[in-house]
Structure 1
Amino acid sequence: MTNQKIELKYVLYGIVAVCFTWIIHEFVHWLTSESLGYESIMRINGVSPVKGGNPSDMHKVFISASGPIITILQGLIVFMVLWSRNWNKYLYLFLFTAFYMRLLAGFMNFINPNDEGRISAFLGIGTFTLPIIVSGLLFVMVYKISKKHNLNWKFQLWTTLIVMIMSSILILTDQFLGIRIL
């Protein structure tokens, strides 16, 4: 039987999964920007060049792509581990968070293009093409693991709520407090 019990430890792992996913995603944006020679500021939910820094269009593409690439890699690694080994509900949080993060980013393109949306627009393939592909890829991974391990709707609902609430807290904290990490 697959352990799908939701307890405090699972909620705490959910908080860790969301924080880790967001911070590593933004850190890779920051690292890419810095390595291309642009002094940058990293916040909880964003990276921007210091005033006066204006990356070229191609550098903007590289900087935009780096975060989603690491998030996709996170999802892919967790998927492969969960596919080839026994069930681990705590590890599943890292796959689900990667999916949720990119899906949410895809929807945010309606307000302001970000990451995959900016790259899609730059490539002239429509703002939503890459967000749909990336979200779809991560969804397939979540779906296959859910099927393989017979995850029930209650477990999925609680996982979604934990990830959604923690993600919202991170995003709102960044919007209202703008805490600079680097």
Structure 2
Amino acid sequence: MKLKASFFPWLVLVFLLTNLVHESAHWLMGAAFGFEMRFGLNAVSYLSATEPWQRALADGAGPVVTIIQGIVAYLLVMRGGSARVFAFLYVAFFMRLVAGLVSVMHPNDEARVSLFLGMGKWTLPVLVAAGLAVLVVKGSRRLQLTWKDQLACYAVASLAVTAIVGLDRFMR
């Protein structure tokens, strides 16, 4: 199977939807604790004081939802899902990989939770990204995607991340 040109606008849409759901999970967990927060396209800001364990749960809520998305998409791809379903798997992987890479400069979701749990900054980011990478590889094989398909997914996903981060900063 070769990904068609119509797949890539879909990939961007899935990226935007996944990001909104991911940030909503953070916000909902924080709201459940009564935190005052600001919702952004690429981040949720905590405007009130938090207990460390509450913050860890709110920080972890987004990745948990994104990981579930990736697992469900993987299962659907393996049961005969389409490239459209694969987009949800790829986006889950790419988002968590980029979040892990950003942790070099500023600890992101999994890195903060990993530090809270006393596991070091890199344990959870590496485990999550590696686990989702395995699912992407298996899903890619199932759909018989080529290295050119993967390169195109990477390029479009990179542009989508850049656009989302840029829009988030512009909207603040």
Which stretches of structure 1, 4 residues or longer, exceed 3 Å deviation after superposition?
A: none
Task: Specify the alignment match of 2:14 in structure 1.
Answer: 17
Question: CA separation in 1, counterparts of 2:171 and 2:57?
Answer: 27
Does residue 50 of structure 2 align to residue 55 of structure 1? yes
Contact (CA 8 Å) 1:6, 1:158: kept in 2 or not? no
Question: CA separation in 1, counterparts of 2:62 and 2:32?
Answer: 14
**What is the SS of the residue equivalent to 2:44?**
strand
Question: CA separation in 2, counterparts of 1:54 and 1:108?
Answer: 24
Q: For residues 137-175 of structure 1, give each alpha carbon's deviation from its aligned partner in whole angstroms, at most 9, with x where no partner exists.
A: 100100111122221011111111111101111012212
Task: Specify the alignment match of 2:78 in structure 1.
Answer: 83
**1:102-141 to 2 correspondences below 5 Å:** 102-141=96-135
Alpha-carbon distance, 1:93 to partner: 1.1
Structure 1: give runs of 5+ residues left out of the alignment.
Answer: none
Task: Specify the alignment match of 2:37 in structure 1.
Answer: 40
Task: Specify the alignment match of 1:169 in structure 2.
Answer: 163
Question: CA separation in 1, counterparts of 2:92 and 2:39?
Answer: 19
The alignment yields a C-alpha RMSD, in angstroms, of 1.1
Question: CA separation in 2, counterparts of 1:113 and 1:176?
Answer: 22
Alpha-carbon distance, 1:15 to partner: 1.5
* Structure 2 counterpart of 1:104, one-letter code: V
Alpha-carbon distance, 1:125 to partner: 1.2
Does residue 64 of structure 2 align to residue 69 of structure 1? yes
Equivalent in 117, 136, 143 of residue 137 of structure 2: 143
**What is the SS of the residue equivalent to 1:151?**
coil
Equivalent in 3, 6, 17 of residue 5 of structure 1: 3
Alpha-carbon distance, 1:176 to partner: 3.5
Question: CA separation in 2, counterparts of 1:39 and 1:172?
Answer: 24
* Structure 2 counterpart of 1:115, one-letter code: D
Question: CA separation in 1, counterparts of 2:12 and 2:144?
Answer: 24
Question: CA separation in 2, counterparts of 1:63 and 1:130?
Answer: 15
With normalisation by structure 2, the TM-score equals: 0.96
Question: CA separation in 1, counterparts of 2:4 and 2:141?
Answer: 19
**What is the SS of the residue equivalent to 1:146?**
helix
